[in-house]
Chains A and B, each alone.
Chain A
Amino acid sequence: DAEITQSPRHKITETGRQVTLACHQTWNHNNMFWYRQDLGHGLRLIHYSYGVQDTNKGEVSDGYSVSRSNTEDLPLTLESAASSQTSVYFCASSESEGELFFGEGSRLTVL
């Protein structure tokens, strides 16, 4: 069965370190998204991609970057982790605009 997987599921890091969260989908979807989930804010879009070599900023993109070198993967990089980036991060993919398939999330703690 097709799926979308994230790794690591849990990570603790220190302020200032670079962190990369991986996202891999086998749906062969063109569209991929990264969200963060925080209490009281719901899901907020960080970055998204509509295909290979395409990346776009979402509403909370500062301090994050993505790259899309193939259809299956959209890694999310925190260049210099900050405590404000402690959150749960979700990757999603889709073919149609409204139906997103989500990974199980990556919980990141920045100390």
Chain B
Amino acid sequence: GEDVEQSLFLSVREGDSSVINCTYTDSSSTYLYWYKQEPGAGLQLLTYIFSNMDMKQDQRLTVLLNKKDKHLSLRIADTQTGDSAIYFCAEIPDNTDKLIFGTGTRLQVFP
């Protein structure tokens, strides 16, 4: 089947904005998720968006959803070195009740 796709790497300067993109597989997915994995740790849920929304903002994080193109993005404003991590998008497709993860994007923040 199709994969949830993300670019593997993103490098940004401290203080700039980061935009992490994701193309998911099922336009019927009710919720879409962003998880963060810090070095040497497990994943933690960062934020999620309901499929009837096109934007959600939470402090420095903005999630944008384009259902027509099955495109999800995570914008981090004023990126800090502590934001360096791997970010995974995830969905629960309509034909399953399990979370399907993307390939992950490694964000590196340099001074």
Contacts and interface: CB of A to CB of B under 8 A. Distances in A.
Interface in A39-61: 40-45, 48, 58
Interface residues of B, number: 22
Consensus secondary structure, chain B interface: loop
Contacts of A33: 98
B98 A98 contact: no
Contacts of A104: 40-42
Interface string B44-57: 11001000000000
Interface stretch (B12-20, B58-66, B75-83, B99-107): B99-107
Contact of B45 (A35, A41, A42, A100): A100
Interface string B83-98: 0000010101000011
Interface residues of A, number: 20
Given A43-B88, A98-B92, A48 B43 contact: no
7 contacts: A42-B88, A42-B104, A99-B48, A102-B42, A102-B43, A102-B44, A105-B40
Interface of B: 4, 6, 8, 31, 33, 40-45, 48, 88, 90, 92, 97-99, 101-104
Q: For the complex of A and B, list the 8 residue pairs with the smallest distance between their C-beta atoms, beginning with the closest.
A: A102-B42, A42-B103, A43-B101, A102-B43, A42-B101, A42-B104, A104-B42, A98-B31
